[in-house]
């Protein structure tokens, strides 16, 4: 099978998967090990340089998502810093090709959850580590805080935010 065929088949499988409901959820079991990333990224080291979370994860309107940095953003520094590293060379190649780094997502909510980073961070003033843990202290990032419905609802109850279904879902 040619490479193009493999890509087409893989895309078709992904497309079909996207049409189907998500596999069943059970009480969230946090992973015991961090996922393998295409390029190692040390949050602790980057935060130590003075970077803020939103520098790399901007919350743009309408504010539901916190973004990932463009590869060109990374290369603004890494054009000079550690440019000999094979990881940085891999990053540079992706940036040149304008291909995104295929990061393994640590936190991801289903698309039927209307979670707004803006309302939690900008409006309510929560810090990122409320939901993501002490990222600034982590050399390797892994999921250490649950983001299931119960954990969300408990937090909402503690802070007297709404807990009706329609608060976070397009419910009936």
The contact set with another protein (CB under 8 A) reads 16-27, 62-65, 111-116, 118-119, 123, 149-150, 153-154, 157, 160, 162-172
Q: Give min distance, CB of 119 to another protein, in A.
A: 4
Nearer to another protein, 107 or 114 (CB): 114
Q: Give min distance, CB of 27 to another protein, in A.
A: 5
Q: Give min distance, CB of 92 to another protein, in A.
A: 29
Cα–Cα distance, 28 to 79 (Å, whole number): 40
Nearer to another protein, 2 or 19 (CB): 19
Specify the length of the chain in residues: 172
Q: Give min distance, CB of 34 to another protein, in A.
A: 24
99 and 24 Cβ atoms separated by less than 8 Å: no
Nearer to another protein, 17 or 107 (CB): 17
Nearer to another protein, 82 or 169 (CB): 169
Nearer to another protein, 40 or 162 (CB): 162
Q: Give min distance, CB of 35 to another protein, in A.
A: 20
Q: State the Rg of the chain over Cα.
A: 19
Cα–Cα distance, 149 to 127 (Å, whole number): 20
């Amino acid at each position: 099978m040619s490479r193009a065929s493999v890509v087409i088949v893989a895309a078709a499988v992904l497309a079909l998967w996207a049409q189907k409901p998500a596999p069943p959820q059970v009480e969230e079991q946090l992973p015991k090990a961090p996922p393998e990333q295409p390029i190692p990224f040390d949050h602790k080291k980057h935060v130590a340089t003075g970077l803020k979370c939103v520098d790399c994860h901007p919350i743009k309107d309408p504010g539901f998502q916190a973004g990932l940095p463009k590869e060109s953003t990374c290369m603004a520094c890494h054009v000079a810093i550690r440019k000999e590293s094979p990881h940085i060379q891999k990053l540079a190649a992706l940036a040149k090709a304008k291909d995104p780094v295929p990061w393994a997502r640590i936190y991801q909510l289903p698309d039927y959850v209307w979670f707004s980073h803006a309302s939690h961070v900008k409006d309510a003033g929560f810090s990122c580590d409320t939901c993501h843990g002490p990222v600034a202290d982590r050399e390797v990032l892994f999921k250490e805080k649950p983001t299931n419905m119960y954990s969300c609802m408990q937090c909402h109850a503690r802070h007297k935010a709404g807990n009706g279904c329609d608060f976070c879902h397009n419910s009936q």
